[in-house]
Amino acid sequence: MPSKCAWCCALPRWSEAPLRIGILGNARYPALQDVLAGVEARARARGWTLQAGPEVAPLLASPPQVIDPDEIDLLLTLGGDGTLLRGARLLEGREVPIMGANFGRIGFLTTVSPADLADALDGFADGRHSLSRRSVLLGGVHTHDGPMQVELGALNDIVLHKGGVARVVRFRVEIDGQVVGTVSGDGLVIASPTGSTAYSLSAGGPVVVPTLDAMLITPICAHSLSVRPVVVHGTAQIRVVPLAPWPDELLLSFDGQQTTELRANEVLEVHMAPWRVSLVRFPEITFFDRLRDKLRWGDLSGRD
């Protein structure tokens, strides 16, 4: 295990070459344009080049190049966790570092506040940062003996849930070919350690340190007191088989941003992707600091 100093020294020092920054943003935040003006000013001062997504480009003073994931050193996301998740999907497996600036309410995955963004960009360019490499889930849908029909990635979670009328759904969960059991309930969350603090947590799942090599299987409103979340190794192959009677709509949601339907006689298979998503972090803020600050972990000060 390298020392903290060795780790920091191993990071790229982008000041040796002009930093190439791709920017994604959520245009619904009123402060976005002012923050972008500050980023442009810092980029001019340090000789950095900017690329931008379609929501951001019209707000920049100089028309930028469209983001090319192969031609950037840093992806900057301006919004909340949803914007960062969109950025991770844009990279399509390229391990370009992502720095998220939080304009939203919680922003658990993001790195800095808009007020601290200029200093954070300088810190990244000068190598005063670390990279937290996060596992990515791949979920594929196919018939019982047929080829894969769709495969999508998720940094947080893949969620099986019903649409339309409220009705209990039944499915069998298998891990590495072994039957775990049958679940009746509202659905199922399969989460990465990064996603343990998202939907899985709301459904009663555990908090998992995000760099752990693991996956979480959390039932949603299981119709049994004996069904509880399960944590498996990151090398596991998870298979979910819906059971009759099927609801009219059985949906799969990937990070809450992409959806596909799971039809009768189809199965879901989930495993870890061979790549990681790299989130920029600064050493003064730890994962447990985030738990206390963002989720009020262990905080009873507001109670009588």
Active site (annotated) includes residue 34: no
One domain, residues 114 and 155 = no
pLDDT of 302 reads: 56
Could you give the percent of the chain with pLDDT greater than 70?
A: 92
One domain, residues 247 and 120 = no
| Residue 20: CATH number of its domain | 3.40.50.10330
| Residue 257: CATH number of its domain | 2.60.200.30
Tens-place pLDDT, residues 148-179:
788 999 999 999 998 766 678 899 999 999 99
d(CA 167, CA 258): 23
What number is the average pLDDT over the span 49-74? 95
| 244 in a structural domain | yes
Q: Is the pTM for the entire model greater than 0.85?
A: yes
One domain, residues 57 and 13 = yes
One domain, residues 143 and 116 = no
One domain, residues 141 and 268 = yes
One domain, residues 162 and 74 = no
Domain tally, the chain: 2
| 208 in a structural domain | yes
> Domain range spanning residue 232?
136-274
One domain, residues 78 and 157 = no
| 165 in a structural domain | yes
One domain, residues 150 and 264 = yes
One domain, residues 17 and 89 = yes
One domain, residues 157 and 56 = no
Tens-place pLDDT, residues 68-80:
999 999 999 999 9
| 301 in a structural domain | no
Set 73, 81, 157, 255: catalytic member: 81
| 37 in a structural domain | yes
One domain, residues 123 and 184 = no
- Give the H or E element holding residue 271: strand 266-281
What number is the average pLDDT over the span 15-32? 89
One domain, residues 150 and 262 = yes
| 303 in a structural domain | no
